[in-house]
Amino acid sequence: MIRNILLGWFGTFLQLFLRLSWGVISIPIAVLLHLNTVEIGLVATSFYIGYVISSIPWGLVIDKIGPNKAITISALILVPFNLLLFFSLNSYVLLVVVYLIDGLVAAAIFPSAMKIVAISHSDGSKFTFYIALVESAAPITTLLLSLIATILLHLWKFVYLLMAIGFLLLGILSAKINPNVTSTEIRKSLKIIFDKRIALSTLIRLGELWATWGTTTWIFPMLILYKDISPSLSALFLLLFGIGQLVGIISVDRLVQLVGTIKVILLNLIGFIIISLLLTISNDNLILSEAFLLGIFSFSYRPPTDSLIMKISGGGSAGTSIGYANAISQIGTMIAPTVVGLVLYLTKSFTFSMIALDIGCIISVISLIILETWL
């Protein structure tokens, strides 16, 4: 099953790179199409609108037909739309529509990857580890973007060509693998949606995604435009931020074993709030040292949260539970980029934009405290 998990990792990486690269390539595209900060944020939001709309249907489909078939269908549909942006990006409307369609289709990939983990490791002591392995695609994506950010400012079109090639390869590889998966009745899977513990866990996830992807989408351009940090130094910040995410996600399984799932999630949420506020008063040197810590706290809550959701639902309905969690929690991801863009547009303030990101963590902390009394 390890090759299935690696396939899930590759698919997760591709869909993350597609959406997270917007935080870098938005700068040259904004110049090309004369976009303001609100319009920049709306492009990212359009992706997440599609992601939210289709996540629950995809979850049900995944539990019914299996994760690999769902990945194949999704990946092959994404190929022509990325080629369209590579060959002809001359309209803001086209840009928004394609990102919306990308979101609708890419929503199948991450729940499929989680379903693969649930099929093979839900009863094992390394369940959180394998979830963290798949989700390590996120910090690795951030690291890669930090290393090539300055290059992408000039060669941004090739992001879409590489995405088309990557999704084509993913579709071909996924079609050749047939995991052992039992079809789950849609009626049975739908019951998961009405479990109040799943609903509250999803609200925790919503706040986490608000903070994580709002930061990842905006931190690079915010440092340049509103903190007067050079592009090269901002790229270094992004690199350290990504390293921190990777270190955090590698160590989270051991930390969960030591102190428990709930405490790990809570510690990381509080840590994010503290470091994000320190960033607003720090100079260039301190900002770089805080980038690593922000990276750790901005992602280490994800694997234990997703592990908690799938343990509550059971492996047979993992696709539906994560699909549902994606649908609701991605509202945070969908809103955060535009909220931050609006705050920047109205206040021109780095401080207020970071406070806007902390709202997500506050939502998660409150929901986590309530959930703990229900478990």
For the cut 70, the answer to whether the pLDDT of residue 13 exceeds it is: yes
Name 93's Cβ contacts closer than 8 Å, sequence gap at least 6: none
CATH number of domain containing 55: 1.20.1250.20
Report if pTM > 0.75.
yes
Residues 6+ apart with CB under 8 A from 343: 349, 352, 353, 356
Mean pLDDT, rounded, for 270-281: 93
Q: What is the mean pLDDT of residues 210-215?
A: 87
pLDDT at 179: 55
| Amino acid at residue number 178 | N
Q: How many CB atoms lie within 10 A of CB 354?
A: 23
- The 10s digit of each residue's pLDDT in 65-75 is 888 899 999 99
Query: For residue range 78-94, what is the model confidence (pLDDT) as tens digits?
Result: 999 999 999 988 889 99
For residue 355, what pLDDT is reported? Answer: 93
Look at residue 18 and tell me whether its pLDDT is greater than 90: yes
Q: In Å, how far are 92, 139, 307, 360 from 213, measured between CA atoms?
A: 22, 11, 20, 10
Round to whole Å and give the CA distance between 193 and 349.
39
Distance CA 297, CA 251 (A): 12
For the chain, the domain total comes to 1
Structural domain of 272: 2-372
pLDDT in tens, 129-188: 888 889 889 888 878 887 888 898 888 999 999 999 999 999 999 887 765 555 555 555
Provide the 3-class DSSP secondary structure of residue 108: coil
Roughly how many angstroms between the first and final C-alpha of the chain, as a whole number?
31
pLDDT-derived band at 39 (thresholds 50, 70, 90) equals confident
